[in-house]
Amino acid sequence: MKYKIPAVLALAVLSVAIALAQTSTSTTSSTPVTAVSASFSFTAINFPGATRTRAVGLNDRGDIVGDYIDSSGVRHGYMLHQGNFTNSRSFLLDDGAFTIFDFPGATATFLQDLNDSGTIVGTYTDTSGIFHGFRLNAGNFTTIDFPGAVATVAGGINNLGQIVGNYDDVSGITHGFLLSAGNFTTIDFPGTSDLTTASGISANGEIVGFFFDNNGVLHGFSLIAGNFSTVDFPGAFLTEAFRVNEAGQIVGIYNLAGQHGYLATANPIQKP
């Protein structure tokens, strides 16, 4: 089964609120589950008592945001700071005031990410139901469309203004992209032929995302200086990577007896 553009959008929509949550109840984290692969050390993120937890946003301080479903089936937001979970009651954009953003003439607008200068990226649908990416800077919207694509999603932006996302070509194949200094570059995980999406980028230029292999299995990835690494929580049958910070920490989700968030840190390189 192939991911459609709206599903990719839904996976990362909470990241725009990183570290801006008003809070109500603080809960100490339970003992974390850890796992180590060849390239990364993972810490599972499970909100206490939740039936499902996702981690979709991360800042340079290491604060993590996401959502969870409680035992009654109700979804809540959370922030995880220094090992302590906090329920989110509302999200702030500017001094406690909500601002509504609608791309002019769009039928729906999705905010995906923002950088320290306040530039926002996201996606909107036009009146024909086509998806386009956008950049919002100082109140001005700019459409982001990968050349020749039939749909474009802008998913992440760093403090240098570089943008990552994904697009569908005329054959219905989904590719990741990097937009830097006005130039687009396609991102395809080597050997995959179905889907690659880029969802986050750090100021250091590290890009994370996820891809389907040729057996239909979903994996996370990290891309540094042209070199790909797979990000797979050990034993999971599905892993996705959403955001990366300047320290190289990655957050995402994995499925193993339910859905969980994770924080991954690159292992030190062992010298021979």
- List, for residues 203-259, the tens digit of each pLDDT value: 999 999 999 998 889 999 999 999 999 999 999 999 999 999 999 999 999 999 999
- Per-residue pLDDT, averaged over 180-188, amounts to 97
Q: How confident is the model at residue 15 (pLDDT cuts 50, 70, 90)?
A: very low
Q: What is the pLDDT of residue 30?
A: 45
DSSP string, 23-63: EEEEEEPPPPPEEE-SSEEEEEE--TT-SEEEEEEE-TT--
Q: Which fold has domain 5-89+105-266?
A: Neuraminidase (2.120.10)
Task: Return the structure tokens found at 24.
Answer: 């109500």
Give the residues across from 210 on adjacent strands. 197, 220
Task: Give the whole-angstrom CA distance, residue 9 versus residue 262.
Answer: 19
Please give the sequence-ordered ranges of beta strands (E in DSSP) within 138-258, or none if there are none.
Answer: 140-144, 151-157, 163-168, 174-180, 183-187, 196-201, 207-212, 218-224, 227-231, 238-244, 250-255
In angstroms, what CA-CA distances link 201 with 34, 159, 241, 251?
24, 9, 11, 12
Please name which of 158, 239, 164 lies closest in space to residue 199, comparing C-alpha atoms: 164
Average pLDDT over residues 74-87: 87
Q: How many CB atoms lie within 10 A of CB 77?
A: 18
Give the chain's mean pLDDT: 84
Q: Minimal CA–CA distance to 178: which of 159, 203, 205?
A: 205
User: Residue 12 pLDDT > 70, yes or no?
Assistant: no
Q: What is the pTM of this model?
A: 0.83
Q: How many CA atoms lie within 13 A of 123 on its CB side?
A: 26
Q: How far apart are CA 153 and CA 155, in angstroms?
A: 6
